[in-house]
Chain A
Amino acid sequence: MMKRLVAPLFLLLGACSSTPTRPLPPVIDGQTGEPAPGVPYEPPEQTVPVPLPPSSSSGGAVVALLDQAETYHRSGDSDNEAATIERALRIDPKNASLWSRLAAVRLEQGRPAQAEQLALKSNALAGEDNALQARNWRLVARARWSVNDGSGARAAEKKARDLGG
């Protein structure tokens, strides 16, 4: 009932506003899981548990890729180095060191803005690893220096120092 009253009011609101856009009907939501008419209730199948990974983990794969990245690094092939780290990140996307490593490559490639963002991403995943966080802030500082953002760089350096790095 309420809905029926509200809709025309809303249409008027849209029609009278200064912007010449099509009036939009209101939106409703908030239903809580009762099946709609015509949809047979289906009891859920077997509960999906938390998957248990095997005792040995993906670490070996990531190490192998980091070795490969290192080889590219030594030969100065930063494109392939970055692509290899990305490959490792697909396997272990929560690995803060990998994000930091990618940030370092981007800085080397002369992409300071992306380097800074990747370092921030690394910090978001670094948890208690203060050394890594400090390393990331120093990287951010270098990125900011490279675009002549002195005050930003000094702020990042201070963060690195506060973290004991």
Chain B
Amino acid sequence: MPPKKPTNGRRRTRKKRRRSRKSSSFPWAKIIVSVLVVVVAYVAFLDFQIYRKFEGNRWSLPARVYARPLELYTGLQLSAAQFANELKALGYRFVSRPRRAGEVSRNGNDFQLISRPFDFWDGREESRALRVSFTESHLGQLKDDRSGQSVALARLDPLAIGSIHTARQEDRILLRLDEVPDTLVKALIAVEDRGFYQHSGVSPRSVARALWVNLRSGRVVQGGSTLTQQLVKNFFLSNQRSLWRKINEAIMALLLERRYDKNEILEAYLNEVYLAQDGQRSIHGFGLGSRFLFQRPVGELSTAQVALLVGMVKGPSYYDPRRHPERALKRRDLVLQVMLEQGILDRTQYQKARNEKLGLVTAAAGTSKTFPAFLDLVRRQLRRDYNEADLVGEGLRIFTTLDPQVQWALQKSLDRRIRPLLKQQPDLQGAGVVTHSANGEVLALAGGRQAGFAGYNRALDAQRQVGSLIKPAIYLTALEHAERYNLATPLDDSVLQYEQSGQLWSPDNYDHQFHGKVMLYQALAHSYNVATARLGLNLGVNSVVSTLRRLGIDAPLNPYPSLFLGATNMSPIDVARLYLNFASGGFHVPLRSIREVLDANGKPLQRYDLSVERVIDPAPAFLVNRALQMVVAEGTARALNQRFAAALGLAGKTGTTNDLRDSWFAGYDGEKLGVVWIGRDDNQPMGLTGSTGAMRVWSDLYAEAGVVPQQALKPEAVVWHGVDRDSLGLADNGCQDTVQLPFIESGSLPARAPCATGGGPDWLPGWLR
């Protein structure tokens, strides 16, 4: 401050004092002192506000949610096309020769890439140059691109799939100043506040300069307020334009500069600045702005992209490049012009940047990055363990189980099968769940036929009749009584009239035929209602209910015989819970959508551990699995055989309800379980059975996502026997038409078939074979 001013002030005060003494005894001194005290107190108050904001957590950060990271290793089942999709979704740039993190080159099945660093729960995965080659269906070779050495395992950065925030909450990804490219900082200062490193918070000169620059170019290029003032305005003050606010802004800018150095102020500015709006969420800071517009970290931005972001500071909605691409382009070019003039760019760099397109991310077809139905599941799981405030304010990082490859395949398959039917059935809907069989991780979830559409989450909330999907629980109950039942036990599929409390129940088969004596597995494979109902009645409805309870079904169950035919409601995810028992070889595996939650410092707050519980003995579990494979081999799902090699050993069950209101399919390969439902929300008939509707979606899904052969290990207590299809007796070489079935060694066996001549392996005792 110039030394003259205080002297002037003192002189004036003295004058005032003299005058006040003259004119009666008006207490000028007291008033002035009081005013001074108030002013000092007010300034101290503002200073404290600044202190509190800067020393505490400057921002309340929403929880960020990630998909599973892709783990690369030799033998991973993944195609080159799937890998390319994953990289595209992650915002990797396809170039002719990768030089920086986030760049990749592709030559057919061979990729060269430089991965991005990422902080996981077990530490930082460093950026590395990789060479990845694919066979038809697998990752064939993984090498370090510099040394040529084989790499055992590499982890890519995970896809960010969402954040959990309150309505109108600000969202940002915090950056340290050293993470921000130099060009961005220079461009920002050149455009917004050229005197930044010289002024002490407020700059009359920059106001004058801005006026001059704007006059010269004939439009508003520069604003008059400093970066510090802008930061103060965003941090502490309302948007109102008033003199009082301007005064506050100036005082606080001066105070801020007194307390903190330029780099701290700059870093805060880079993180605070408002850049875009995404529905209810406002996008703040260059870290998130860069992700939001270009799907890449700020360090990977091109010069043109840097210029666009810097240009948007002036008017995020006016220059919104998605809504006003031409305006945004003009603004970007203006920023580039300033960068050239200020020597931040040379002419070649400038020309190159000028020729670039806006380069915004657009969701490529089939690789959407919004998964509202899955996030809904994550949110519900989190609500059980966290209060809302921690979720939306503490900057938690949530690592989920979502597998984007499976999710895209599920959405694509639902859309592909349902869309052609919408002309006749505009209200047709669908939903699906895919889980990992061994660990219960939810890999994909679709709440409706439209991808990325938030709303009624049918996968979780649609309680629908399950129909024949319930039948494996009845057959399991039977097979657990090995002394009475085996897979070849003849069941009676003839007219059934059951009387209870004077009422007659007489179930029918779907084809309105009766099939006489059928093997137990056939009744399941062909989903014969009458044989199943009779079996259920022999077992008793309570024993079936208790089986379902043991398998983890909490849904209300009506203890009537109609339960045998699936007259009970479940959601697709309930069905997944039920079938996971079969797909995992008899273990109950709780479903999980979250692996771990890390706090803002990267420390694990909570893990959702893998846990299992044996609920079906190994032998009956093996038998039920075989019966479900027979559904595909020769039963209601045999259409799958035309598409998938028999050796894949796919297992599953169709479900169709009354008047074709629900079309279900639950099926699994050696790795994952998929449940698909199709129907209408108003529960009206829609004309599809389990195998004409849901099963086709399932089929597309598995063809797209990739199938893993299912080879269940035969438990020791199980032996294989051939059974004569004609007499349902134990067969040997003398019989023509036989089926190989597993039996529990200590349990019941069919009688010898008439065709059996005593030759062949089946009549030799086990120890001789």
Q: How far apart sit A160 and B489, CA to CA, in the bound complex (Å)?
A: 35
- Within 8 Å of chain A (Cβ to Cβ): is B424? yes
Q: Is the CB of A52 within 8 A of B137?
A: yes
Q: B468 near A: Cβ within 8 Å?
A: yes
Q: Which residue of A lies closest to B495 (CB)?
A: A2
A111 → B minimal CB distance (Å): 9
Docked CA distance A91–B153 (Å): 10
Q: Which residue of B lies closest to A67 (CB)?
A: B152
B689 within 8 A of A: yes
Q: How far is the CB of B76 from chain A (nearest CB, A)?
A: 7
Q: A37-B687, A90-B439, A118-B612 are in contact. Are A30 and B709 (CB under 8 A)?
A: no
Q: Give A88-147 interface residues, CB cut-off 8 Å to B.
A: 89-91, 93-94, 102, 114, 117-118, 120-121, 124-125, 127
Given the interface contacts A53-B138, A93-B436, does A27 sit within 8 Å of B558 by beta carbon? no
Interface string of B418-442 (1 = CB under 8 A from A): 0011001000000000001111010
> Are A29's CB and B501's CB within 8 A?
no
Which of B229-237, B251-259, B656-664 faces chain A?
A: B656-664
Contact A13 B526 (CB under 8 A): no
Indicate if the CB atoms of B153 and A83 lie closer than 8 Å: no
Most B Cβ at <10 Å: residue of A28, A45, A52, A125: A28
Answer whether A45 and B510 are a contact pair too, CB < 8 Å, given A29-B655, A54-B135: no
Q: Which residues of A contact B135 (CB under 8 A)?
A: 52, 54
- Which residues, 589 to 631 on B, are CB-close (under 8 Å) to A? 596, 604, 607, 609-614, 618
Partner of B501 from the list A16, A35, A80 (CB cut-off 8 Å) is A16
Cβ of A56 within 8 Å of any chain B Cβ, yes or no, is yes
Give CA–CA (A64, B151) in the complex, Å: 10
| Complex interface bits, B106-137 against A, C-beta within 8 A gives 1, otherwise 0 | 00000000000000011000000000000111
The segment from B17-25, B354-362, B642-650 that touches chain A is B642-650
Interface residue ranges of A52-74 to B (CB < 8 Å) = 52-54, 56-61, 63-65, 68
Which of A13, A25, A64, A121 is the one whose CB lies under 8 Å from B658? Answer: A25
Given A27-B567, A28-B508, are A58 and B76 also a contact pair (CB < 8 Å)? yes
Name the distance in Å between A56's Cβ and chain B's nearest Cβ. 5
B75 contacts A2, C-beta separation under 8 Å? no
Interface string of A13-35 (1 = CB under 8 A from B): 11011010100111111111111
B241 interface residue per 8 A CB criterion = no
Verify B503–A86 contact, CB threshold 8 A: no
Q: Write the nearest CB–CB distance from A55 to chain B, whole angstroms.
A: 9
Task: Give B637's nearest chain A residue, CB to CB.
Answer: A33
Q: Are B528 and A54 within 8 A (Cβ)?
A: no
Selected contact of B707 from candidates A51, A91, A102, A127, CB within 8 Å: A51
A60 contact from B73, B424, B568, B713, Cβ within 8 A? B73
Q: List the A side residues contacting B586 at CB < 8 Å.
A: 124
Cα–Cα, bound, A27→B465 (Å): 8
**For the complex, is B702 an interface residue (Cβ under 8 Å from A)?**
yes
Q: Are A29 and B73 in contact (CB under 8 A)?
A: no
- Contact in complex: B439, A86 (CB < 8 Å): yes
Question: Cβ of A38 < 8 Å from any Cβ of B?
Answer: yes
Smallest CB separation, A109 vs chain B (Å) = 10
The answer to whether B645 and A26 touch across the interface, beta carbons within 8 angstroms, is no
- CB–CB A6/B507 < 8 A: yes
Q: How far is the CA of A87 from the CA of B436 in the complex (A)?
A: 13
Complex contact A30–B657 (CB within 8 A): no
Which chain B positions have C-beta within 8 A of A49? 645
> Once the chains bind, are A19 and B558 in contact (CB under 8 Å)?
yes
Complex Cα distance A120/B618, Å? 10
B636 at the interface (CB under 8 A from A): yes
In the complex, are the beta carbons of B421 and A51 less than 8 A apart? Answer: no
Closest Cβ of chain B to A3, distance in Å, is: 6
Contact B611 A54 (CB under 8 A): no
A12 near B503 with CB under 8 A, answer yes
Mostly helix, strand, loop or mixed at chain B's interface? Answer: loop
CB distance from A150 to the nearest CB of B (A): 21
Q: Could you tell me if A51 and B708 are in contact, using CB atoms closer than 8 angstroms?
A: yes
Does B439 lie within 8 Å of A28, measured CB to CB? no
CA distance A35 to B688 in the complex (A): 8
A118 to B638 CA separation, bound complex (whole angstroms): 35
Instruction: Please name the residue on chain B nearest to A127 by beta carbon.
Output: B713
C-alpha gap A33/B658 in the complex (Å): 17
Residues of A contacting B567 in the complex (Cβ-Cβ under 8 angstroms): 24-27
**How far does the Cβ of B420 sit from chain A's closest Cβ, in whole Å?**
8
Nearest CB of B to A160, in Å:
15
Contact partner of B643 among A29, A44, A57, A63, CB < 8 A?
Answer: A44
**B 207-249 binary contact with A (CB < 8 Å = 1; else 0):** 0000000000000000000000000000000000000000000
**Docked CA distance A93–B708 (Å):** 12
Whether A89 touches B691, Cβ cut-off 8 Å, given contacts A24-B562, A45-B643, A83-B596, is no
Which residues from A are CB-within-8-Å of B687?
A: 36-39
- The interface residues of chain B lying within 8 Å CB-to-CB of A61 are 71, 73-75, 152-153
Q: Flag if B562 contacts A10 (CB, 8 Å).
A: yes
Tell me, in angstroms, the Cα distance from A86 to B420 when the chains sit together: 42
* B563 CB to nearest A CB, Å: 9
Which residues of the other chain, A, contact B706 by a CB distance below 8 angstroms?
51
Which residue of B has the minimal Cβ distance to A59?
B75
| B501/A17 in contact, CB under 8 A | yes
The verdict on A29 contacting B656 (CB below 8 Å), with A24-B567, A89-B439 known, is: yes
Mask: chain B, 131-151; 1 = CB below 8 Å from A; 0 = not? 000011111110000000010
A12 to B562 alpha-carbon distance, docked (Å): 13
Q: Would you mind naming 22 contact pairs between A and B with Cβ atoms under 8 Å apart?
A: A9-B504, A26-B567, A28-B565, A28-B658, A29-B654, A29-B656, A31-B510, A33-B639, A35-B692, A38-B421, A39-B687, A45-B703, A48-B707, A49-B645, A51-B77, A54-B135, A60-B73, A61-B153, A83-B604, A91-B73, A117-B614, A124-B715
Extra pairs beyond A9-B505, A87-B71 (13, CB < 8 Å)? A6-B506, A9-B504, A16-B502, A19-B558, A29-B657, A36-B689, A37-B687, A40-B420, A51-B706, A83-B121, A83-B604, A114-B611, A117-B587
Residues of B within 8 A of A (CB): 71, 73-77, 121-122, 135-141, 150, 152-153, 420-421, 424, 436-439, 441, 465, 467-468, 500-512, 526-529, 556, 558-560, 562, 565-568, 585-587, 596, 604, 607, 609-614, 618, 635-636, 638-639, 642-645, 647-648, 654-658, 660, 671, 687-693, 699, 702-703, 706-709, 713, 715
